[in-house]
Amino acid sequence: MAYTIDLSERVALVTGGSRGIGAAVAKMLAEARAAVVIGCTSESKTAIGLRNRLRGMGVPAELVAGDLSKPETARAYIDFVREQFGQLDILVNNAGVWKGDPIDELRPELLTEVMNVNLMSVFDLCRDAVPLLRASSQARIVNISSTASLMGEPSYSPYAASKAGLDGLTRSLAVELGPFGITVNSVAPGWTETDMTTEELKTEAGKALVESIPLKKVATPEDVANAVLFCASNMAGHISGVTIPVEGAYRIRR
Question: Is residue 254 exposed (0-12), middle (13-18) or buried (19+ Cβ within 10 Å)?
Answer: exposed
Q: Could you please report the per-residue DSSP string of 18-31?
A: TSHHHHHHHHHHHH
| Catalytic residue from among 3, 77, 156, 159 | 159
- Clarify whether 159 is annotated catalytic: yes
Closest CA to 159 of 123, 201, 188: 188
31, 67, 101, 222: which one binds ligand NAP (CB under 6 A): 67
Given 10, 22, 26, 223, the residue binding ligand NAP (CB under 6 A) = 22
Question: Binding residue for ligand NAP (CB under 6 A) from 7, 11, 12, 16?
Answer: 16
CB of 224 to ligand NAP, least distance (A): 7
Contact residue for ligand NAP among 42, 52, 172, 203 (CB under 6 A): 42
Structure letter (DSSP) for residue 234:
G
Number of residues that make up the chain: 254
Least spacing, CB of residue 124 vs ligand NAP, in Å: 12
Contact call for residue 125 and ligand NAP (CB under 6 A): no
Within its chain, how far is the Cα of 20 from the centroid? 10
Given a contact cutoff of 8 angstroms between Cβ atoms, the answer to whether 28 and 59 are in contact is: no
Should residue 41 be labelled a site residue for ligand NAP when binding is judged by CB under 6 A?
Answer: yes
Looking at residue 210, its amino acid is V
| Binding residues for ligand NAP (CB under 6 A) | 16, 18-22, 40-42, 44, 67-69, 94-98, 117, 144, 146, 189, 191-192, 194-197
Residues carrying an active site annotation: 159
